[in-house]
Amino acid sequence: MADTATATAEPRGSALGQWNSAVTSYYVLLGATTLLLVIGLVMVLSSSSVESLDEGNSPYAVFADQAKFALIGLPLLVILSRVPVRVMQAFAWPVLGAAIVFQLLVFVPGLGCGEGGNRNWVCVGGMSAQPSEAIKLALAVWLGAVLARKLPLLHEWKHALIPVVPIAGLAVLVVLAGHDLGTALVLLMLVAGALFVAGVPLRMFGLAAVAGGAVAFLLTVTSQNRTDRITSWLSTEGCDTSSACYQTLHGGWGLASGGWGGLGLGESREKWSYLPAAHNDFIFAIIGEELGLIGTLLVLGLFGLMALAMVRVIRRHPDPFVQITTGAVLCWIIGQAFVNVAVVIGLAPVIGLPLPLVSAGGSALIMTMAALGVVISFARSEPGAAEALAARPSVVRRSLAVIGRSRG
């Protein structure tokens, strides 16, 4: 109500009046998503072309795959942006169940595949998919549906824990069973975001943080690969191509050599097989090298705008399901982006998380676009948004009007 009153009181063309418009969240989400997707496609092409040629492929091979995945994700985003909120809520349980069963397929001989010690892909007939990406969206929607129904009881321990902890714990465990600690951490951030928005008392978060820290410590000390990554992150001495610190070192060199304005699009030196995963987990370093500090700030600013739009949906929408689900998606996408950037600049050890919408990767791109489609649907159902969108002329009608005036 306060937002609506402010919007009415503001002059029609003022910046504050535009921000308080009922459709601000919708357009900011749509614009930030589109720009990040375009930047991602351009940078995937730039960062992958050299290695593609070195492997005997077309320089456009990785870009073509990424564009194909974007074209798959686009109709999914559009469809989900039109799905009514009550329909998403109704299908929360079966969708999460299907996602967990899908994840279990990675352990089926002949279907599951992976690399680097991780077994988190389903491979069939030359095609592959990462089920853990589907779990992210399914879990976010499920948390919104369950916590919204139990909202008045969440101050009690048993209602805050059941069934969220067992079911969410199962989803995390099946991902951890494939040795994918990075995705498991994102799932934990997602769950924490949903519980926070739902209003679970902060003292419960303190206990969960202690328990989660203990589990993370055990998982680290029991894995030589993870231990090596931690020790290499703490010391960059003696880095070579076989050291875990090699990626972080060259990522930092790429960012440093970019300066303010960058070396120019396509002019990266690190992508010439010096920086591993230049088009995946470390694409932010190539952005900094080619587009400079200005390019990295642009990307960070777009994620910041996306975060503000999601916070706005949480504050303005009256439906608890929408608020909680949006909080979960916010912590997933923005939290994952934060961790990816922290890894590239050396503030966190390498854990293999892509930069949402920007890094190459089919499953991650498609499911991120699907999640943003869900949040855009929520933005469309904000108070006054549906009426404002319906009252505005379509692009076709505006174009025809302009053509008609020009002929007259």
Predicted pLDDT of residue 207: 75
Return the structure tokens found at 68: 């194909």
Predicted pLDDT of residue 402: 45
Angle at 133 between CA 24 and CA 109, to 5 degrees: 165
Indicate the pTM of the whole model: 0.88
Nearest to 331 by CA among 234, 198, 194, 210: 194
What percent of the chain lies above the pLDDT cut of 90? 55
Above 60 in pLDDT, residue 398?
A: no
Strand partners, 129: 122
Confidence of residue 8 (pLDDT cuts 50, 70, 90): very low
Strand partners, 122: 112, 129
Above 50 in pLDDT, residue 10?
A: no
Above 60 in pLDDT, residue 11?
A: no
Q: Quick one: average pLDDT of 50-71?
A: 91
DSSP 8-state class, residue 406: H
Nearest to 42 by CA among 20, 17, 67: 67
Neighbours of 308 (CB within 10 A): 16
pLDDT digits (tens, 9 = 90+) for 84-133: 999 999 999 999 999 999 999 999 888 888 776 677 889 887 788 999 99
Give phi and psi for 266, each to the nearest 5: 90, -5
The answer for 319, left when phi > 0, alpha when psi is -120 to 50, beta otherwise, is beta
DSSP string covering 305-339? HHHHHHHHHHHH---HHHHHHHHHHHHHHHHHHHH
| Contact assessment for residue 280 and residue 360, using Cβ atoms and an 8 Å cutoff | yes
Select the more confidently predicted residue: 325 or 248: 325
Predicted pLDDT of residue 221: 66
Burial class (CB in 10 A: 0-12, 13-18, 19+), 49: buried
Neighbours of 311 (CB within 10 A): 16
Burial class (CB in 10 A: 0-12, 13-18, 19+), 54: exposed
**CA–CA separation, 378 and 31 (whole Å):** 16
pLDDT digits (tens, 9 = 90+) for 124-157: 877 889 999 999 999 999 999 999 999 888 888 8
**CA–CA separation, 358 and 355 (whole Å):** 6
Predicted pLDDT of residue 186: 94
Q: 330: Cβ–Cβ under 8 A, 6 or more apart, which residues? A: 193, 307, 310, 311, 314
**CA–CA separation, 271 and 59 (whole Å):** 13
